[in-house]
Amino acid sequence: MNKWDQRYLALAKEVSTWSKDPSTQVGAVTVGSKKEVLSQGFNGFPRGINDSDERYNNRDIKYQLVVHAEMNAIYNATYSGTSLDGATLYVYGLPICSECAKGIIQVGIKKVVVEKSKELDNWNESVQLSQKMFDEAGVELIINPKN
């Protein structure tokens, strides 16, 4: 992993702190071929949805409402009319679930760099499917162990 990958992972880590989720903070940053930041995202509720502590502390409600950081980065790029075709996605916090992998592949992101801050055993099947989809679609996946 090069110094730019480290820098963008550090930026994704900073973005993760913007999440109001008391149990898990995930941040994502998309970067273009000229090292320009294209978008960012963190795990949280959609725009206009009340993100109260009560909702975040109710696991069932939280899981129904939360948008993952990776998808928020994609949605934010779309919101501003920015193409992510050929971009790199940097994610800090958790591995990529299969639902996010679908979106990543679909918008043309070609490289994903992940630094996990924790493991979730109940996500293993989804994460394995993500890796298989990335391999088949030609998306490079780099997992940086927690420092």
Q: What is the pTM of this model?
A: 0.93
Residue 93, domain CATH: 3.40.140.10
Which residue matches tokens 């420092």? 147
pLDDT value of position 81: 97
Count of domains forming the chain: 1
Residues contributing to the annotated binding site? 68, 97, 100
Question: What is the Cβ-side half-sphere exposure of residue 46, based on CA atoms within 13 angstroms?
Answer: 5
| 70 catalytic per annotation | yes
- 72-106 pLDDT, tens per residue? 999 999 999 999 999 999 999 998 999 999 999 99
Residues contributing to the annotated binding site for Zn(2+)? 68, 97, 100
- 10-67 pLDDT, tens per residue? 999 999 999 999 999 999 999 999 999 999 999 999 999 999 999 999 999 999 999 9
pLDDT value of position 56: 95
SS (HEC) of the chain: CCHHHHHHHHHHHHHHCCCCCCCCCCEEEEECCCCCEEEEEECECCCCCCCCHHHHCCHHHHHHHCECHHHHHHHHHHHCCCCCCCCEEEEEECCCCHHHHHHHHHCCCCEEEEEECCCCHHHHHHHHHHHHHHHHHCCEEEEECCC
Structural domain range at position 79: 3-144
Annotated active-site residue in 14, 36, 54, 70: 70
Predicted confidence (pLDDT) at residue 147 exceeds the cutoff of 60: no
